[in-house]
Amino acid sequence: MGSITRGLSNNITTGGVILPAGITNSSVSAVTSFANASGGTLILLSTQTASNSATISFTSGLDSTYDAYEFKFIDIHPRSDGAFFQFNMSTDAGSNYNVTKTTTAFIAYHEESDASAGLAYDNNYDLAQSTAFQHLTTQSIGSDADQSSGGYLQLFNPSSTTYVKHFIARNSHSNPNDYLNDGFVAGYGNTTSAINAIRFQMSTGNFDGVIKLYGVKKS
């Protein structure tokens, strides 16, 4: 019996409750997996780093393993001032990114000087049966050294061959005029073909940042 097992067994009550003393950095770090983890747990599948990159594409990992997937965007920084962060989907493993989409968007905003703030539906950034790249930021991002964007994109059951492919995105970003923008985007890819690749890019120019892909563990 190893030291971790002995330490844990000595801290379990007769009712099966683990005492606080039984949970330590050593015992937790030694765990390699939780076979019965509850649904909703995020499983990191891959990480890509943009460094003055034109595009970042995820051409593997989107399959029937998970019912939902989540991309997280960290310090997305455009090289061109006033660019929009965008995405599109593919049904042919990345040969084409041109899935037809219907989407909607709204925005909350607040100026650094406190001179202006508001909440509004923004029909400049929605799509109606369009194959164009969808804006994930509802305003453009500034390219100052300290300006960037962070957020997430959730994609539901992309491997379905029965239903359209719904997604929800939220993004916080600083725009060129020193506004904080909280953008909300949702929609669906109007296809019953499986989505098996995603591409991210700026509306113009290159970008830096980190994008992580997670699978959402089934219940």
97-118 residue pLDDT tens: 999 999 999 999 999 999 999 9
Going by DSSP bridges, is the β-strand pair 68-78/207-216 parallel, antiparallel, or unpaired?
A: antiparallel
Please choose, from the candidates 129, 94, 131, 124, the residue with its C-alpha nearest in 3D space to the C-alpha of residue 106. Answer: 124
Average pLDDT over residues 144-162: 97
Domain count, the chain: 2
Query: Do 1 and 51 belong together in one domain?
Result: no
For residues 175 and 153, what is the distance between their CA atoms, to the nearest angstrom? Answer: 20
Please choose, from the candidates 40, 24, 49, 13, the residue with its C-alpha nearest in 3D space to the C-alpha of residue 206. Answer: 49
Query: Do 19 and 44 belong together in one domain?
Result: no
For residues 99 and 219, what is the distance between their CA atoms, to the nearest angstrom? Answer: 29
CATH of the domain at 40: 2.60.120
Q: How confident is the model at residue 156 (pLDDT cuts 50, 70, 90)?
A: very high
> Is the per-residue pLDDT at 172 higher than 60?
yes
Query: Do 18 and 75 belong together in one domain?
Result: no
Return the pLDDT at 56.
98
Query: Do 26 and 110 belong together in one domain?
Result: no
Query: Do 26 and 81 belong together in one domain?
Result: no
Query: Do 13 and 28 belong together in one domain?
Result: yes
Query: pTM to 2 decimals?
Result: 0.82
> What range does the domain containing 168 cover?
36-216
Query: Do 97 and 173 belong together in one domain?
Result: yes
Query: Do 57 and 76 belong together in one domain?
Result: yes
> Is the per-residue pLDDT at 66 higher than 70?
yes
Average pLDDT over residues 33-44: 68
Query: Do 17 and 111 belong together in one domain?
Result: no
Query: Do 95 and 196 belong together in one domain?
Result: yes
Query: Do 15 and 89 belong together in one domain?
Result: no
> Is the per-residue pLDDT at 143 higher than 70?
yes
